[in-house]
Structures are given as C-alpha cells and as structure tokens.
Chain A
Amino acid sequence: GAVVSQHPSRVICKSGTSVKIECRSLDFQATTMFWYRQFPKQSLMLMATSNEGSKATYEQGVEKDKFLINHASLTLSTLTVTSAHPEDSSFYICSARDPKLAGADTQYFGPGTRLTVL
C-alpha cells in the first residue's frame, strides 16, 4: 500500500504560538490530501481537503484563517495551527490517495501528530 508520513509526531507548544505539521506521500504523488482531527475517545473529523496548486476546501465550522493549509507540491501538504490555544490540543492526522493504485478510492493515513498546547 501507499506510505504517508507526518512530521513531527509529537509537539508541545505554548499558547499563542504557531505550529506547522507536514504530511508527505513517500512513494506516490497525491493531488489531494485530507486533514483530520481526533479528540480523545472520539472519531476522526475531517477538517479540510488539501488540493495541490489551489486553495484548500474547509469543512463547516473549521476556521480557515486559524488552520492554514498549503499543498505546494504533489507530495507535500502542510497544516499550520496559528495562535494555538489549549483547546486546539488534539491528534491531527492526514491522509492521501494514490490515484494509480488499484482500489484508488482508498485513503492511506499518516501516523498522526499529537499536539499539546500549554
């Protein structure tokens, strides 16, 4: 299957700072990547769809100015949490599809980034 990586795996920051999370497709090109957030003991909630070379599409209730998404290449999407606050502490997970694989509808997930805002 396709491999997706995320960096960092864990980050602790002070309230008011910004944090950047990288999502990379390692062995394929992904025109579309997805960003999810998961609070403890809850399921994954889609935040936004990241499109290479164009603006991201945000889900209802997700502030685009707070969660900046950049998909500058076919293998890299970044999520920047701006002016982070303790309520932004969560598990952030990205996913991507490899359009060339059989079963191309399958999304493959990165290992996730645990963000803790103090």
Chain B
Amino acid sequence: GQNIDQPTEMTATEGAIVQINCTYQTSGFNGLFWYQQHAGEAPTFLSYNVLDGLEEKGRFSSFLSRSKGYSYLLLKELQMKDSASYLCALKAAGNKLTFGGGTRVLVKP
C-alpha cells in the first residue's frame, strides 16, 4: 500500500518563499506528482519527479529523495493567486494516483 503525509495548512506572506513537504511510504515507487487545486476547481499539474534531485519550473520547484521517501514543493515570490491547496500524489502501477490530504496555503499581503 501507500501512505502520504503532508502538512494540513501553511501561511506565508506575499513575495516570500514557502516549502511544502511530503513524506511517503510505498511498496513500489513509480513517480511523484505535485498538483495545485483552487477551491471548487479541478487540480492542475505542477511537476513530476521520478529521479532524485530538483526540478525547476519558473517560480515552482520540486525536489525528490527516493531513499528518504521525501519530496518538497518550493514556491518562490509568492503571489496572492498562489493561495490554494497543493496535493502530493504517488503514481502506482497502472498509472493510478494516490493523493495525500493536501496542504492549504494561505498567502497574506
């Protein structure tokens, strides 16, 4: 089976940096995704890590350490529109995704 843990909620200031951690246990690792979800909307794809290291995409970066069962999503130069839930998801066999509970990020002015 799979188990995913991420903080429930985080608050940060506009212009700052926030790091959202995700730890997981899985019997077989096939990749880890980060999605952004605004309230009442569907998730949108942010990043995908399958190898160890850092993937950078503009203001968003994602890091993976498979040996530690650990990933983080880094959001830089926070904007008000970044207030949303951020979902860590593990890919299983058959391309199925198991989602963590999500981290609600609130950006304050």
Contact = CB atoms under 8 A, between A and B. Distances in A.
Interface of A: 1, 32, 34, 42-46, 49, 57, 91, 93, 95, 97, 103, 105-112, 114
A107 B95 contact: yes
B95 A105 contact: yes
A106 B45 CA distance: 8
B77 to A, nearest CB: 23
Given A46-B97, A107-B33, 11 more contacts: A43-B87, A43-B100, A44-B97, A46-B98, A57-B94, A103-B48, A105-B91, A107-B45, A107-B97, A109-B43, A112-B42
A46 B48 contact: no
B48 A106 contact: yes
Given A44-B87, A103-B48, A109 B100 contact: no
B59 interface: no
Contacts of B96: 34, 46, 49
